[in-house]
Amino acid sequence: MLRAMTMVSLLAFTAANAAADEAQIRRVIEAKLGGVKVEGVQPGPLGLYEVRFRSSGGTRIVYTDANATHIFLGKIYETQSDRDITEERLRKLNAIKFDALPLEQAVKIQRGNGKRVMAMFSDPYCPACRQFEQTLQAVDDITIYVFMFPVIRPELAEQSKAVWCSPDRAKAWLDVALRGKPPTAKSDCANPVAKNLELGHSLGVNSTPTLVLANGERVTGGLSRADLVDVLDAKR
């Protein structure tokens, strides 16, 4: 029995580590996923292969075996460290050059010494954005560049414009995004809202909030306070 178990283990190990038939993987993935264009294939976690392709929301990945007999959709979590391996990889693949962002188009909010830095595409009428604003209130020593991105309630984009026209933009943003209090300023000043929409679409931002860390890594959706502090402190 021990010999049989050893042979099974060796066969499983050999199969998992077999050289990938990249052409076969590309052919199968592109056909099965509706004609996507595979951009790359490389070894991934658990003896699987990572397959990268581009969608309207940026680079995406799926996993497959060496001959593409199975396709694995979804995320891989490492239970011991409680890490989302797939999400970490996507952050790197969809990285944005932070220094290239037109920060002059963003509402700047600073608390404390501001040493933790991030940018955020956000809609004041996005429920997840409002929830994340609550989380941000519990983080000190932070600078947030908010690119107003009114896509959830585009008919209320005038309020984002009015935020920009307000004497205190940071306060006006927090009033509407955190407290649901519309700005009182007029919306007829020169403002970057249309440019922000173009910027977000060009970067593949298709959900709010979308965070951009100082090292360029992108995080789709909000984070808990603990996770946010971890990633911010790790990237300083």
Q: Which residue has the higher pLDDT, 147 or 205?
A: 147
Cross-strand partners of 144: 109, 118
Mean pLDDT of 199-206: 90
The predicted-structure confidence for 31-65, as pLDDT tens digits, reads as follows 999 888 999 999 999 999 999 998 766 788 999 99
* pLDDT(71) > 90: yes
pLDDT at 4: 36
Question: Counting beta carbons within 10 angstroms of the beta carbon of residue 8, is it exposed (0 to 12), middle (13 to 18) or buried (19 or more)?
Answer: exposed
Question: What is the C-alpha to C-alpha distance for residues 164 and 192, in angstroms, rounded to an integer?
Answer: 8
Cross-strand partners of 69: none
Query: Residue type for 154, please?
Result: P
CATH topology of domain 98-234: Glutaredoxin (3.40.30)
What's the distance, Cα to Cα, between the start and end of the chain in Å? 54
Q: What percent of the chain has pLDDT over 90?
A: 71
Where do the domains of the chain lie?
A: 2-92, 98-234
Q: Do domains 2-92 and 98-234 have the same CATH topology?
A: no
| CATH class given for the domain over 2-92 | alpha beta
What's the residue count for the chain? 236
Max mean pLDDT among 76-80, 106-110, 152-156 falls in 106-110
What's this model's pTM, rounded to 2 decimal places? 0.73
